[in-house]
């Protein structure tokens, strides 16, 4: 298992993982383009991937422009192996090394992601739109947890 910073060469495999998930699926896979991924990992923030046998099985992307976690997804065949926790840690360590601004994310109701974020110390602060719960993580809480 290799964890490393994402590059633009990873975008094709990142898209495969993003479209393989069973929860928080995209209503239309074309909603998140390769250009969107490129912008988020090269301009707006940074991304990380987990590789097993030269195949990306998970990724995470933080957005400094909107102080948002844009993505954290694991290929369903590789869930429950600690990949999400490790990507989450790497991403938030990097994020809070860049800024002390509170970071937020949205995730669908009644998903495993809701439990993941609650266990990881995120605080539910309301709704993001009408289909997602909004969570926040402060710098101070992250430092206590890590």
Domain ranges, residue 13: 2-145
Tens-place pLDDT, residues 29-51: 667 889 999 999 999 999 999 99
CA–CA gap between residue 10 and residue 7 (Å, rounded):
5
What are the distances in angstroms from CA 64 to CA 103, 112, 126? 9, 25, 21
Q: Is the pLDDT of residue 8 over 60?
A: yes
The domain that holds 32 is classified in CATH as 3.40.630.30
List residues bridging with 48 in a β-sheet: 5, 60
Instruction: Provide the domain count of the chain.
Output: 1
pTM value is 0.93
The structure tokens listed for 4 are: 């490393």
For 50-106, the pLDDT digits (tens) are 999 999 999 999 999 999 999 999 999 999 999 999 999 999 999 999 999 999 999
């Amino acid at each position: 298992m290799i964890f490393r910073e994402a590059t633009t060469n990873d975008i094709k495999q990142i898209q495969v993982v993003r479209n393989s998930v069973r929860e928080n699926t995209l209503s239309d896979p074309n909603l998140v383009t390769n250009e969107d991924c490129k912008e988020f990992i090269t301009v707006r923030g940074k991304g990380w991937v987990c590789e097993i046998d030269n195949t990306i099985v998970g990724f995470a992307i933080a957005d400094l422009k909107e102080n948002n976690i844009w993505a954290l997804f694991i290929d369903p065949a590789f869930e429950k192996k600690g990949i999400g926790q490790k990507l989450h840690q790497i991403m938030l360590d990097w994020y809070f090394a860049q800024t002390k601004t509170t970071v937020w994310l949205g995730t669908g109701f009644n998903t495993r992601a809701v439990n993941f974020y609650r266990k990881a110390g995120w605080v539910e602060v309301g709704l993001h739109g009408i289909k997602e719960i909004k969570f926040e993580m402060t710098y101070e809480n992250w430092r206590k947890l890590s």
